[in-house]
Each structure stands twice: as C-alpha cells, then as structure tokens.
Amino acid sequence: MENAAQYCLGCMELSGGAAVCAKCGYVAGTAVDSLLHLAPGIVLKERYLVGRVLGDGGFGITYIGRDLVLDSKVAVKEYFPSGMAVRMRGEPSVFPASASFKKDYQWGLERFLDEARLVRKFQDHPNIVRVEDFFAENDTAYMILEFLDGITLDKHLEQQGGKIPAEQALKYLLWVMDALREVHAAGVLHRDISADNIFLVRSGHVKVIDFGAARQAMGQKSLNLSVILKHGYAPFEQYESKGQQGPWTDVYATAATFYRAITGTMPPAAPDRFKSDTLAPPSALGIAMPPGTEAVLMKGLALRVEDRYPDMLEMERAFQRKDEAKPAPLPLPLPVPAPVPPSRNWLVLAGALGGLLLLAALWLFLRPSAVPQIKAFRAEPQSVKRGEAVKLSWDVADAESVEIEGVGKQGPSGSANVSPSDTTTYTLIARPRSGEVVRRKLEVSVVSPEGARISRLEVTPDRVKAGELALLSWEVQNGSNVKLDGQSVAASGSQELRPGESKTYTLEAVGPDGATQQAQVLLSVESKGFSPSGNSTVLVPRVDPVTGPRINSFQAQPASVEAGQPVSLSWSVSGAAKVSISPEPGPVALQGETRVQPRQNARYVLTAVDAGGRAVTATALVEVRRVQSPLPFPQPPDQQHQNTQALPQPLPQPLPQPLPGPTRYSWPVSHDHQGLKGLNPYDRQWNHCRGVLRVVDQTVRYETSFAGDSFDAPLSDIDEVKMNRMAIQGMKAFHIKLKSGRNFNFVARESPDRIVSVFQKLIR
C-alpha cells in the first residue's frame, strides 16, 4: 500500500521514509536475525504492515505491526512451529520441513486458529489480551493482537534482581485472578499461567497472554487433556495423562507464580514434592508478608486437589480478607453458673424471634444485588497533545467495587490524573456483590503536532523556450523556515523566471513536529520548437524515492491526432498518496491507462503527492491536427438552396467515448453511531467509531473495527450523498444514504464538501 513506506519498521511510528528513525534508531534495510522470519515491510491481507521481530517462541513468531486501515499499532503473531516449519529466503510462504511433519503441522495450524477464536470471546475483559483479527495466509495463519507497550512479569523480576515485595506481587496477581474467573466461567482453562505469560503494560494494568495451552471444556471429554506444562508452575494433575483438571489447576499455577515473584525461586516440581515435599513457606526464606496472606498462598500450592481452593474466586476472596486460613483462637473457659429453669413461654418466644432473625439474615444474603449505576465518567480535556495531563472523574452508585483499566481500583466517586502517550480507551468497571457487571468506555485522543503541508508548488507554464517568462508560485500551511532552493522565502509567494536551461526547483518547510517537508517542480526549457510527431516526451522530475513521490513514466500515444480521435495516456507512479491528471480525467490510481479525446492542442499534467504534501509533476503534450474539407463547386444562386435540400445529409456519427480508468479514493473518517437526533452537542461523550471510507473501482466501502457499522456496496446502490445541515462536534458533516435505507453520518479530516463532490460525480 502507498502509505506503508512512511512508517519505521522498528517502532511503527511515522518516519517519513527516513534511513534512520529519529524515534527508535532503527536503520532501514536492517537484515532479519533469522532467515526463517518474515522480511520487514511485507503487508498481510492488504492491511497489516509487518516490522521487526518482538519475540520468537516454540510455536510462533511475534512481530510489531501497523494496521494501515485503522492507523494503529498492532502485534502480529505468526504460526511457525520451531523445527517443523521452514520458509525459503525472502519468501513469505511457510511449509512443513518434511512430509512426515505435514499432518502435525496442519493439526497445529488448526489449534492456532482455535486459540484465536477462543481469546476473541474475552476481548471485552480489560485484563486479557485482545485479538483484533485472525486469518490464514502464506500457507500459515496469523493473529492480529492489540499492541502492548511494556514487559512480561518474568522480565520485570529479572530487572528487579529476581523478586519483588509481596504487596506489589499480590496487586499484579489479583488482576490475573479477576481475568481467570471470567475465563473459567466460560468453561475454559488457561493451563499455562506463569511469569512469562503475565504482561505488565506501561500504563499500569496487567494482561494475561498466550492461551496456546487453553482448551474448551466439553463435559467428560475435557478430562483427558494433553500434557502441556511448565515445571514448578504445573500441579500434579497436569503430569497425569488422565488427571482431572479444572479451575483448581490454574489456582496452583497462579499461587506458584506468586511464590516465584516474592521469593525469587521456583517451587519444586509437583512430582518431586510428592516424593519429599521441601517447599518452604516464604517467611522461612526471610520474606516479609502478613501471616494470613502466607497461609492463603500455601493453601493455593497444596498438592492434593481437595486441599486446594476449588476455584479462583475462593482464593481471590481469601487474599483480600487475608485471615480466612488462620485458625480462630479458642475462647477462655468461663465459670458455669447454676442452671435456672426457664419458662416455657419464654423458650417459645425466643425460638420464634431467632427464626425471624435467621430468615432476615438469609434474605439479606440471598437477595439480588442492584445493578450498578455509572452516573458520570468524564475526561477533561478529552483531546490533548502527547504528554499533557488529563483528569478522569467518575461517580458510581450501587457497586461493591470500582476500577479503571490502566489506573487501578478506585472508590465509588473521585478523580485521577493520567498522561496517556497515545490515544487510549479507559474502561470504568463497576461490579456488584453478585449479578451483572457494568462497563463504560471513554476514549482520550492524543494528537501529535501537525506537520507542515506544501499545498502548492507550480510553475506556469512548465515548458518554455530559452529566455521566455514563467511564473513559479508556492503556498505552505502550518510551516516555518520556508526555503526555495536554500534561500528563505515567505510562506506563500511567487517569482518570475527566465531560465536558459531546464531546472528543478525545491521548496522546503519545517512543521511544528520538527519534520521537514519537501516538494519539487521541474521547469523544462526547450532549445528548439516542439515536434509532436511520434510519442510525446516524458518530463519526469528526479526525486529521491525515499524522501518523496516518483513519477516513473507518463506518456501520450499517439502524440499527434486528428480532432475527435482517441489518445491513450499511460503512467506509473511510486511513493505517492494521491495521483491526478489535469485536465480530466482527474484522480487516478498509482499506475494505469485511460483514453482522452482532445479537440485542440492539449497539455496533460500528471501530479503525484505523498502523505507529507510533497508533490511532483510530469507533462505530456498532444497536437490536434485540423482536417480541411474540400470546397464545393460554385453553383448559380437560384440552384444553391434547391440542391442543398435535395442532397442527402450524412447522419451525425457519435464520437468515441473514453474508456473509464480505475477509480480509487480513500478518506479517514469518523462515523456517528447515534445519528444527529441522538447527539447532544454539549456532551463530551461522542458515541462514534473511526474507520476508512474507500471507493475502489465501482464499489464504496466503509471499513471499521465495529463489524455492524461496516458496509460494502456498489456505487449504483447509493441513493444520496450530501452535506448535513447540522454539524457534529462542531465539524462539518455529510451523510451517505443507501437504497436499502441505511444512512451513515460522517466527519472527515479532509474537506467534506470535496468528498461529497467526488461522490456526486461518481454516481451521476
């Protein structure tokens, strides 16, 4: 895709195609560490740009990536079982290393896709890694995961000298237990909880990753599970081929992870403990922690299933109370008074009163909890520059616990300051004592400083004879330090030129983001008159493909025709975001061919503009020859009118129409979910989704992560495209109405008026 070259393959941030990334230092063209890895720069599914390798495990390779449709960072996980799969140098396709591995390779490929389907079930949980897409390609399969900026707990322990305080470790593990409770409720076991499958995100929250060992429980069939384990983390039942596994299996692994994090040592392998249990309590190793917390930990590490907590909820509650496992102290003996014969009526009254109290307590315990109410959840401001502070405030009623993903557990009302480094969605989670959990999401937009934009750099005319006058004009928006061929000039202006030879003029401008934008234009000077015979001369500016767009070819065939005869325009462009030809046909694809029918001498100008606003042009000239009709014989005046009427008149012949060229447009837009009637212009909460509106050939598509809002329809199915009378969030908006009755309201970065004009031309 055209904009893929603008991203650094090391950090997936915009680099403008620089040889060395200013943000991460990645050197473009760096060779891969292994010939088995995908080459950086490949695009999967015509959407996901693949960068450097983040990790290489036994069953797959994970790369940093970029979703070119939603313009966001992702992680790309590729199925690549070590020792079983190979790929040829420079080729993306994967295949089994030998014929004997074919069956096992295919079985593993299906399990890889099963894992993706499984994790998708929990994509709304804040503590479980989110799968955004998965698909088969290159004879293997890929998972597109949310990009997590941080490190694993295992790596964090290594950086901290091997262990961390018990209070800090418990904070991490409570997030994990909360995630596993939802996993177990769906009938799924993780079966591989360990320090390297717990990810600490830089924003402060915790994610459970790698569900490769998870299996869906299906009655008794789920009892005979394959042995997938890590020594020290796995309980004894995972070592048995027919061991009965359940939530208690993940309980043991979670407790073992806690033990490893606070002591710096792994518990002995479960079979070794059965022979001789040498597991020492943390306090015996000099670890400071409350006795109640230690008792809960050791119960979670019990070898026998019946001595362990039966599920994650029980252990989570025990850790939060910290005294569940402590034996209650025995009361001191008291002297027994002489018995007094009770009255029979008093005994009846006391029994009735006790029964009523018991029923009341039972009703209070069993009554359903009220559904939590999130009265307010706001961010002020909701759009900031990178590094600026945002105040989150909330007000929740009827909730037993309140937490904000990425911030932590909170009181029922309050505020907190955050400083997101990228556009972030914060989720407020309100949990009752029992019943429905209520969530509300709030997106805080982080905008990077805009770059300079060279909106115009042109020379008129662009082809002159030596000494003739030409006018060079330019305009720069949002830029400073503007230079023309190294000399400082105003942001907009013009110069008269009388060059003696062809010359390329270079305009540069620096934007608030510190990046320099550049554009070039060529003034061609002829020493001789133009000869239109044969093909037209191709005038191509010399532009470095790394720093700007490049016109590889542009020509008209034939370059000399009679009026009304067709001329074929063909072109090839690289490194450009937009390409157009003037006069008509207008916007075109990066390469292609179309027909025109000039009625007089014509100069066709091809303009290529990249994402940074840098533009180059090329020109093709066409001469249109006039055909002189033979003069009629003179006739007497009295016969002229009569003969004219008597002669048969030739029927008008239709002129040949130009063949339509490929049509491609692309606009980043935001779609309002509620429609204009449901929008409160004073409410900072804007219920919308972001996506890309495309026109490809004769089809219009809206692509977004919200599947219910996406659509794909032929242009002939569009009933109406026009501007809205009301603005959305203070921005001009337009809507597209399909003949099916569906109606979509959009706002866009680009002028909505221009988008509407393009659509109206296409659907005429």
Residues 557-610 pLDDT 10s: 887 787 777 888 888 888 887 888 887 777 877 778 888 888 777 888 888 887
Are 233 and 250 a contacting pair, CB within 8 Å?
Answer: no
The region of weakest confidence among 304-313, 520-529, 640-649 is 640-649
pLDDT (mean) for 249-266: 95
- The rounded radius of gyration (Å) of the Cα atoms in the chain is 36
Q: Band the pLDDT of 513: cuts 50, 70, 90.
A: low
292 CB-contact burial (10 Å; exposed 0-12 / middle 13-18 / buried 19+): middle
Listed residue (162, 170, 76, 89) closest to 116, CA to CA: 76
Rounded Cα distance between 128 and 401, Å, is 19
Residue 506: phi and psi, rounded to 5, are -115, 130
CATH number of this structure's domain 664-762:
2.30.29.30
Rounded Cα distance between 110 and 79, Å, is 10
Which superfamily, per CATH, for 373-447? Immunoglobulins (2.60.40.10)
Residues 82-94 pLDDT 10s: 878 888 877 899 9
pLDDT (mean) for 294-308: 94
| CB count in 10 Å sphere of residue 645 | 8
Are 608 and 630 a contacting pair, CB within 8 Å?
Answer: no
- DSSP letter string, 664-718: EEEEEEEEESSTGGG--TT-S---EEEEEEEEETTEEEEEES-GGG-EEEEGGGE
The one-letter code for the residue type at 4 is A
| pLDDT, position 472 | 86
Q: How far is CA 466 from CA 521, 527, 693, 711, 751, in A?
A: 18, 6, 47, 55, 40
Residue 4 has what DSSP assignment?
Answer: G
| pLDDT, position 494 | 82
pLDDT tops 80 at residue 371: yes
Rounded Cα distance between 747 and 733, Å, is 5
More confident residue, 341 or 693: 693
Q: Band the pLDDT of 326: cuts 50, 70, 90.
A: very low
Which superfamily, per CATH, for 150-321? Transferase(Phosphotransferase) domain 1 (1.10.510.10)
| pLDDT, position 347 | 58
| pLDDT, position 632 | 38
Beta strands in 249-372 (DSSP E): none
Domain boundaries, the chain: 7-146, 150-321, 373-447, 453-625, 664-762
Task: Tell whether the torsion through CA atoms of 383, 387, 389 and 395 is positive or negative.
Answer: positive
Residues 701-754 pLDDT 10s: 887 755 567 788 888 888 889 888 777 766 788 888 888 778 888 888 677 888
Angle at 548 between CA 545 and CA 549, to 5 degrees: 80
The region of weakest confidence among 233-242, 423-432, 646-655 is 646-655
Listed residue (423, 422, 479) closest to 450, CA to CA: 479
Rounded Cα distance between 703 and 69, Å, is 7
**Under 8 Å CB-to-CB from 552, ≥6 apart: which residues?**
540, 572, 573, 574
Only one residue has tokens 């999967």, namely 44
CATH 3.40.228.10 fits domain 7-146: no
Please tell me whether the peptide bond between 558 and the residue prior to it is cis, using omega within 30 degrees of 0: yes
pLDDT tops 80 at residue 366: no
Please tell me whether the peptide bond between 583 and the residue prior to it is cis, using omega within 30 degrees of 0: yes
Q: Band the pLDDT of 626: cuts 50, 70, 90.
A: low
Task: Tell whether the torsion through CA atoms of 90, 43, 122 and 257 is positive or negative.
Answer: positive
pLDDT tops 70 at residue 628: no
Only one residue has tokens 């972001």, namely 690
Residues 517-558 pLDDT 10s: 778 888 888 754 444 333 333 333 433 434 568 887 888 888
| Structural tokens at position 232 | 């020290």
Listed residue (560, 681, 668, 708) closest to 620, CA to CA: 560
pLDDT, mean over the chain: 78
Q: 19-28, 383-392, 576-585, 642-651 — which one is most confidently predicted on average?
A: 19-28
